[in-house]
Structure 1
Amino acid sequence: MAIKGVTPVLNVSDVPTSLAWFESLGWKRGFTWNDGGMIEGAGDRSAHGDAQFGSVCAEDSQIFLCHGGQGSRGTIMPRWPGDDMTDGVWMSWWIDSVPSLDELHATAVSLGYVVTMPPTNEPWGVREFHLRHPDGHMFRVSAGLGD
């Protein structure tokens, strides 16, 4: 068996809004889906207004976005003690270089996005900052200090 990739599914409150959030940070729109079937890929937001599922892509990485159901935080499946419905999933984004990471951080700040930890050189050899998605998902945005 050869695993060709892993794609996380994030539960979001509004797929078009999440698509726009990711696109503003350099991700590309993959596809969107609603009850009527597949909606074409990238294009005018108005064509994706009722999307219930979609994807964003960056290089070889992809994230699925789902409104309701998949990726839920306790609304469908039983909750574990200590779960908080406002908490999201933590994920890491690996960026190609420290200058690119700092540029992405500046973009996020200029757009008014929530940065919960500024770019910091960590003792384990990475520079990273923490970025919160509007639905509470948290991204550790990292680049190797040797890159």
Structure 2
Amino acid sequence: MHAQGLTPILNVSDIVASFVWFEALGWKKKWDWGDPPTFGAVGSGVCEIFLCQGAQGGRGNGGVKSTFGPEGDVTADKGVWMSIWVDDVDAIHQHCLNQALDVAWPPTDMPWGVREMHLRHPDGHVFRISRGIGGH
């Protein structure tokens, strides 16, 4: 197999609210389908994510404040976890705080060679926003 691309599909409870959430993150709504829409896409650079209202996968905000750490629970959120690779984790973190988005783990230099933060979508999808450090 030689994959030409990969587009995750997130199950969301409210596609319109999800478009607004992604726009607050700095992504753009690319298209929607249906009347009213139940399927669509958001994008940033060459990356795209499909959103499907009420189907195609699981979701569920676990209700915990943190994903990692002594108070955290990596199993609580039932949505998709995915990594987004960026140039400046700290700038994204500040942007997320300014937009009042749910930061579930602050920027931290992790032992596996990345600086990462976690951002939680209202439906329990967790984005590991990362950049390599120390030659990784």
**TM-score between the two structures when normalised by the length of structure 2:** 0.80
Whole-Å separation in 1 of the counterparts to 2:94 and 2:18: 19
Aligned identity (percent) is: 50
CA RMSD of aligned residues (A): 2.1
Whole-Å separation in 1 of the counterparts to 2:92 and 2:123: 20
Unpaired runs of at least 5, structure 2: 61-74
* Structure 1 moving runs of 4+ over 3 Å: none
The equivalent position to 1:92 in structure 2, one of 60, 78, 83, is 83
Whole-Å separation in 2 of the counterparts to 1:18 and 1:146: 35
Max Rg structure: 1
Cα deviation 1:114-135 (Å, max 9, x = unaligned):
1111000112221100110011
Residues 1-147 of structure 1 aligned to structure 2 (within 5 Å): 1-34=1-34, 36=35, 50-73=36-59, 87-95=78-86, 97=87, 100-145=88-133
Whole-Å separation in 2 of the counterparts to 1:32 and 1:90: 23
Aligned residue pairs: how many? 121
Whole-Å separation in 1 of the counterparts to 2:59 and 2:42: 20
Whole-Å separation in 2 of the counterparts to 1:68 and 1:113: 22
Whole-Å separation in 2 of the counterparts to 1:72 and 1:124: 28
